[in-house]
Amino acid sequence: MCFAGIPTRLIAAFVTFAISASAALSFEIEDRRLYEATAERTRLNVISTADLDVFDPIIRAFQTSWPGVSVDYTVTGTSDLMIALYDEGAAFDLAISSAMDLQTKLANDGFAQNHTPGTSTNLPAWASWRDQLFAFTQEPAVLVVSDKFFGEDDAPQSRDELIAILRADPDRFQGKIGTYDVRSSGFGYLMATQDSRNSDAFWRLMEVMGRLDAELYCCSSDMIRDVASGKLALAYNVLGSYAAAQLKSTGGFQIIEMSDYVNVMSRTVLIPQTAENVEDARIMLDFLLGLKARKDLVDASGLPAIDAAALRANPSLRPIRYGPGLLVFLDNLKRQSFLRNWENSLLQN
């Protein structure tokens, strides 16, 4: 690039513009809202994969307890949250995500700060990792089926039953099945990899769905909406918390926790290394860990709090555990191999 003959002030302006453009953040923002404090003392910047309508009551309750804190809440996808923090070094004070594996990688690779929860949180030992990553919900991945396609007594209750029903009547279900596009959805990828570890039925199910031209989605809420409207007959591996919330408002579908096993995801929170308002980040993190003591917020948000007793009572519930095992499928070669098998199974047509 040549600047000969160009005034110095224009060269400086061009360089400034180029630097600004290269530093621009490229992760996708799905939604954003600033919750302004009446008399702002500080501002807390939160990046989250939880929809605004889900987290709104939690933020407002937090501000009731801490009225001087404005909350700038940014909603993005699980993969985009990883891009923002891991690749782009975006400055956020808290990161909240349903993709436990990606959050674990952030903590494992040095992108999270240590935190010691307050004694009032009473967090179970299994619900945290390395004093950096903390769980505050337990949410099952469920099957949702449309009332236009299934009655109360004929909906499948296990993966084997689902496979049998789809194979028995392919014309009825052609183009009427929804699931995640695991190439772009971090949560979808997490659920799919966990399924592959739990049962061989997963790959058989993917092959059947592929022959039926399954519709691929980025988000649970979109799948649930299309099942409720009857556009889809069913959607596989959606977030049970989102399904329960939408069932209350619209109806039109059933929620099924499969009898063979149910993957249970924990929504997690961490303080990024880029956090600028660490003090308030610690306060809000502890507030989230106290969700189990706030039934009003559990009901309002639809986010089930940590409940160790429920896990012990139902052996089909399989909580996804923290640890190096969650990082296995994030290895580039493992990921490429898994996605290749997934595409061969689901996109065979």
Q: Which long-range contacts (CB under 8 A, 24 or more apart) does 23-26 make?
A: 25/84, 25/88, 25/90, 26/83, 26/88
247 vs 75: CA distance, rounded Å: 22
- How much is the pLDDT for 142? 95
pLDDT of residue 349: 59
pTM of the model: 0.80
Q: Would you place residue 249 in the very low, low, confident or very high pLDDT band (cuts 50, 70, 90)?
A: confident
Instruction: Please report the pLDDT score of residue 12 as a whole number.
Output: 38
Share above pLDDT 90 across residues of the chain, in percent, rounded to a whole number? 65
pLDDT of residue 89: 92
Amino acid at 120: S
pLDDT of residue 322: 84
pLDDT top residue among 178 and 325: 178
Let me know how long the chain is: 349
- What are 108-141's pLDDT values in tens digits? 999 999 999 886 667 777 788 999 999 999 999 9
In the block, tokens 């987290």 appear at: 55
Query: In the chain, which ranges are E strands?
Result: 31-35, 42-48, 69-75, 94-97, 128-129, 133-135, 139-146, 177-180, 215-217, 234-239, 253-256, 262-265, 268-270, 317-319
Give me the mean pLDDT over the 260-269 stretch: 93
DSSP secondary structure of 189-220: HHHHHHHHHH-THHHHHHHHHHHTT-EEES-H
pLDDT for 121 equals 65
- Going by pLDDT thresholds of 50, 70 and 90, the confidence category of residue 25 is low
Domains with residue ranges and CATH for the chain: 9-137+266-313 (3.40.190.10), 140-265+329-346 (3.40.190.10)
Gyration radius of the chain over CA positions: 22
Query: Residue 228 belongs to what H/E stretch?
Result: helix 220-229
What is the pLDDT at residue 119? 63
- Predicted pLDDT of residue 120: 61
Strand pairing of 133-135 and 128-129?
A: antiparallel
pLDDT, tens digit, 9 for 90 and up, residues 319-341 = 888 888 889 999 999 999 999 99
